[in-house]
Amino acid sequence: MILRWHGHACFELVDRDGFTVVIDPHDGSSLGLKPPAIKADAVLITHEHFDHNAYSVVAKPGAEKYSMKEGVFTVGRKHRALGVRLYHDKVRGRRRGEVVVYKVEVDGVRVLHLGDLGHVFEESTASMLKPVDVLLVPVGGTFTIDAREALEVVKLVEPRVAIPMHYWTRGLNLPLQPVDIFVDVVKDFYEVVKVDSNELAVSPEGLALLQKTRVYVLSTPRSTS
């Protein structure tokens, strides 16, 4: 599986046949970024906020669309997905509403996208979501969990790989913290690898070689300014 980060919370998962799943697309311009250059066969939306739901920007004609879909379902008639409803804040959704986090299995790799998670969830929720190979976790604070809370979530979920998202990058017009704060918080607990690309190739065989969780910080997509 090829995983690509397109800035903010937008990720692209491409299977061995080229089938493309995009999670939480943004339109670019609303955020001070360029639109993601993707053509998706399926789009998953964790919640209907403007910076996560730009289906029309990334979708191929007739692409599947799943918005806040709970329970077990199948994407592209071959990729198992699980949607679990959580909260966008620390007051059970009373301030910013709810999100549906998605666990999607592509080519044997289980990816959990936490959307705009706003709270550290319970052990029982972590047990429902595990096992997880790749965790996509917001770290920028303000609208989501911050760096220290993200560390707590990583410890709960115990993924093989954790990738931070939803943090401040150059051009972004939202008041988020930069990823360096998260790196400073986690570096005493996990190996941190900075990748000179917005892309990562992930396989069950490669993941099996990891003895403990590794944090990969992907580079800002070339398409952003």
Residue 75 inside a domain? The answer is yes
How far is Cα 11 from Cα 24, in angstroms, rounded to an integer? 7
Residue 224 inside a domain? The answer is no
Number of folded domains that form the chain = 1
| Token digits of residue 63 | 């692409």
pLDDT per residue as tens digits for the range 105-120: 999 999 999 999 999 9
Residue 222 inside a domain? The answer is no
Residue 81 inside a domain? The answer is yes
Q: State mean pLDDT over 58-72.
A: 98
Residue 223 inside a domain? The answer is no
The sheet carrying 79-87 orders its strands as 71-75, 79-87, 98-106, 109-113, 134-138, 161-165, 214-217, 191-194
pLDDT per residue as tens digits for the range 135-146: 999 999 999 999
CATH code at 68?
3.60.15.10
Q: Which of 85-99, 121-135, 186-200 has the lowest mean pLDDT?
A: 85-99
How far is Cα 159 from Cα 144, in angstroms, rounded to an integer? 20
Structural domain for 38, as ranges: 2-217
pLDDT per residue as tens digits for the range 133-172: 999 999 999 999 999 999 999 999 999 999 999 999 999 9
Percent of the chain predicted with pLDDT > 90: 93
Q: Which residues contact 191 (CB under 8 A, 6 or more apart)?
A: 212, 214, 215
Q: State mean pLDDT over 72-82.
A: 97
Nearest 10 degrees: Cα torsion 147, 167, 112, 144: 60
Residue 172 inside a domain? The answer is yes
Report yes or no: 142 and 176 within 8 Å, Cβ to Cβ.
yes
pLDDT per residue as tens digits for the range 85-110: 999 999 988 899 999 999 999 999 99
